[in-house]
Amino acid sequence: MVTHEYVKKTSEARTPVSSQESGLQKGSAMSVNRVRTLAASEWLVQAAMDIHASRYQSLLYGLFFVLMGLGIDSAHEGNAAFAIGLSAAFMFTGPFLSIGLYELSRQIQEGEKLDLWLSMFSWCKNPAAVGRFAFYLSVVMVAWLWLSTVLMAALHQPSGMLFAAFLLSLWAALAIVVFMASVVAIPMMLDRPVSAAQAVRFSLRCCRLNAWALCLWASIVACGVGLSLALGYWPLLLVGPLLGHATWHAYRDMLGCQYADMPTDSGKA
């Protein structure tokens, strides 16, 4: 079997990463930049510029999001609760599914030759961390689907409204926790040789130091994805790439000098 050149390049270049190599000592403070409350507007403008700079190749990822949503609806047409739960899981899996968009933004930012095909293998840069994080997301997604099914059943019971309110609050709390843990975790795993735990800690610290900016960003993501689902998934053709590219710029905007000085996998500071 022929190994793709991107897989060969990243596997040959990567060796097990120690805490010294990653520039992170165990228990060390993570350097995070504070951003403006309205920084999300800048991230979206930069995202639109990335879509244009990619010669609109990014929209192929958007088409994938649309087809995935339509496929979910078609496959679970007779189970509304399950279909709704899976559709809403776009909120959770979006950061992982957008990893190729992060790579395209990185290529544009670093002035590298744009390569859509190579972006599809970007997870190979840090497969252990990305794989572990994907496993965590899959566990959360199972819990989300269970909550969705139970919630839909409770809403149809006259005496189950109190229980439904409890489940809805639990549903919302789960979504907030996942957002905080993943908002910039995967871009960091793509960009730096860090573990999944280190990337999640960085993401949580970003949320703590930039709470208002990321609350606004979370609202934009929720409204964008929610509106796309309500309109039959087709807006994801543009909304998906916009949010994906913008997430990369959010990560780079909050990346402190402690990390910015670390060597990337491409050998650039």
193 domain residue, yes or no? yes
Work out how many domains the chain is built from and give that number: 1
pLDDT in tens, the chain (269 residues): 434 444 444 444 444 344 334 444 444 446 899 999 999 999 999 999 999 999 999 999 999 999 988 887 776 666 655 656 666 666 667 788 899 999 999 999 999 999 888 898 888 889 999 999 988 888 887 877 777 777 777 767 766 677 667 777 877 788 888 889 999 999 999 999 999 999 999 999 999 999 999 999 999 998 998 898 889 889 999 999 999 999 999 999 998 755 554 545 443 43
Q: Is 267 helix (H, G, I), strand (E, B) or coil?
A: coil
C-alpha separations of 239 from 101, 126, 160, 222, 225 in Å: 12, 27, 36, 11, 7
Let me know: does 199 contact 135? Beta carbons within 8 Å.
no
* CA–CA separation, 225 and 190 (whole Å): 23
For residues 246, 249, 250, 256, the Cα torsion angle rounded to the nearest 10 degrees is 170
For residue 93, tell me if it sits in a domain. Answer: yes
Tell me, yes or no, whether 221 lies in a domain. Answer: yes
The residue segments making up the domain with residue 184 are: 32-260
pTM: 0.80
DSSP bridge pairs for 32 = 255
Q: Which residue in this structure is represented by tokens 């996998």?
A: 265
**Residue 105 located in a structural domain:** yes
20 part of a folded domain? no
269 domain residue, yes or no = no
**Per-position DSSP letters for 105-165, written without gaps between them:** HHHHHHTPPP-HHHHTTGGGGSHHHHHHHHHHHHHHHHHHHHHHHHHHHHHTSGGGHHHHH
Q: Is 39 part of a structural domain of the chain? A: yes
- Note whether residue 53 is domain-resident: yes
